[in-house]
Chains A and B, each alone.
Chain A
Amino acid sequence: MKVAVLRFPGTNCEFDTRYAFEKLGHTAELVWHEDTTLPENIDLVVVPGGFSYGDYLRSGSIARFSPIMQAVKAYAQEGGKVLGICNGFQILTEAGLLPGALKRNNNLHFISKYQTLCVINNDNTFLNQCKKGEVLNIPIAHADGNYYIDEAELKELEENGQVLLRYSDAQGNPVVVNGSVTSIAGVCNKTKNVFGLMPHPERALEAILGSEDGIKMLKGFES
């Protein structure tokens, strides 16, 4: 698999993300935000975490106008697979590639810790290696992860199986972490080729460091 990992000024998870895919035996290439085209023959675009443009105005709001994002939009519209992690998720919602928006955490804190998540839907590329209801332990690290979507759109998301993950306890019951609507931690678009989540699967690759649950998430893209 060939992966393109985007890089904006302020991105800081690009090397971890590249390492994660290389560890799984794939090639991953960093792509600068000023580039107007994506590398050829790629299987996946990852918009990694960080603080693109210092989170000025709103998290992800400036990055979405980068030249490379126009190429990503076109790629996604043709059915190409795109994964946004943390700031990448914020960028994809700002770009309109994913529904909803991410606002400041309810408690106003930057939350950085391991967090258990419940898999809500697995009939998609990203989570096909996971079981429905399975609990994963993945680090979160964000200040603006409070997912908002209005009721009508939430209903639509649920009906289409677009809710991917919810913050949960170890038994899979939803818990309030940052104020997200129905504890949502990750969603996908209607056509299920664009995925976004606040937690960092690329930081959960080694049991000795706390969790290797990120592997089965990233491996989903191999099929």
Chain B
Amino acid sequence: MKAIVNVFLKEGVLDPQGKAVNHALATLGFGDVKDVRVGKQIVLELTTTDKAKAEAEVKEMCETLLANTVIEDYNIEIA
């Protein structure tokens, strides 16, 4: 079983990397970009086949290590 974790800076927390990418895109002529957020994706291979258990475990991983919830939000996809 695979878990995909996406971590992003919270809404309202300025994302300097996103801002720089947004600026670069505008310079390149991509005028339709309103906002850019740069995050990270963490892909976990799990040994369990129990989806609920996987979800609970990955959530705990996010809370303790994968995200810093002071500044970051995360979402989890179990595939």
List residues of A whose CB falls within 8 A of some B CB.
57-58, 61, 65, 93-94, 100-101, 103-108, 146, 148-149, 179
A61→B16 CA distance, assembly (Å) = 20
Please pick, from B17, B65, B68, B71, the residue contacting A65 in the complex, using a CB distance under 8 A.
B65
Residues of chain B within 8 A (CB-CB) of A101 are 68, 70-71
Please pick, from B9, B20, B65, the residue contacting A103 in the complex, using a CB distance under 8 A.
B9
B28 within 8 A of A: no
Using known A-B contacts A146-B16, A148-B13, determine if residue A103 contacts B66 with beta carbons closer than 8 Å. no
Q: How far is the CB of A115 from chain B (nearest CB, A)?
A: 19
Looking at chain B's contact residues, is the secondary structure mostly helix, strand, loop, or mixed?
mixed
Residues of chain A within 8 A (CB-CB) of B16 are 103-108, 146, 179
List residues of B whose CB falls within 8 A of some A CB.
9, 13-14, 16-17, 20, 65-66, 68, 70-71
Please pick, from B13, B14, B17, B68, the residue contacting A58 in the complex, using a CB distance under 8 A.
B68
Residues of chain A within 8 A (CB-CB) of B9 are 103
Report whether A100 and B68 are in contact in the complex, using a CB–CB cutoff of 8 Å.
no
Residues of chain B within 8 A (CB-CB) of A148 are 13, 70-71
Q: Can you spell out 18 A-B residue pairs with CB atoms less than 8 angstroms apart?
A: A57-B66, A61-B65, A65-B65, A93-B70, A94-B68, A100-B70, A101-B68, A101-B71, A103-B16, A104-B17, A106-B16, A107-B16, A108-B17, A108-B20, A148-B70, A148-B71, A149-B70, A179-B14
A94→B14 CA distance, assembly (Å) = 19
- Which one of A65, A100, A106, A148 has the highest number of Cβ atoms from chain B below 10 Å of its Cβ? A148
A100→B13 CA distance, assembly (Å) = 12
Residues of chain B within 8 A (CB-CB) of A108 are 16-17, 20
A146→B19 CA distance, assembly (Å) = 15
Residues of chain B within 8 A (CB-CB) of A105 are 16
Q: Which residue of A lies closest to B66 (CB)?
A: A57
Q: How far is the CB of B23 from chain A (nearest CB, A)?
A: 11
Residues of chain A within 8 A (CB-CB) of B71 are 101, 103, 148
Residues of chain B within 8 A (CB-CB) of A93 are 70
Closest 5 CB pairs of A and B: A101-B70, A101-B71, A106-B16, A104-B16, A148-B71
Residues of chain B within 8 A (CB-CB) of A106 are 14, 16
Report whether B65 and A57 are in contact in the complex, using a CB–CB cutoff of 8 Å.
yes
A179→B20 CA distance, assembly (Å) = 14
Residues of chain A within 8 A (CB-CB) of B66 are 57
Q: Which residue of B lies closest to A58 (CB)?
A: B68
Q: Which residue of B lies closest to A59 (CB)?
A: B68
Please pick, from A61, A65, A103, A107, the residue contacting B13 in the complex, using a CB distance under 8 A.
A103
Q: How far is the CB of A187 from chain B (nearest CB, A)?
A: 13
Residues of chain A within 8 A (CB-CB) of B13 are 103, 148
List 9 extra interface pairs beyond A103-B13, A106-B14, A148-B70, CB under 8 A.
A57-B66, A61-B68, A65-B65, A101-B70, A105-B16, A146-B16, A148-B13, A148-B71, A179-B16
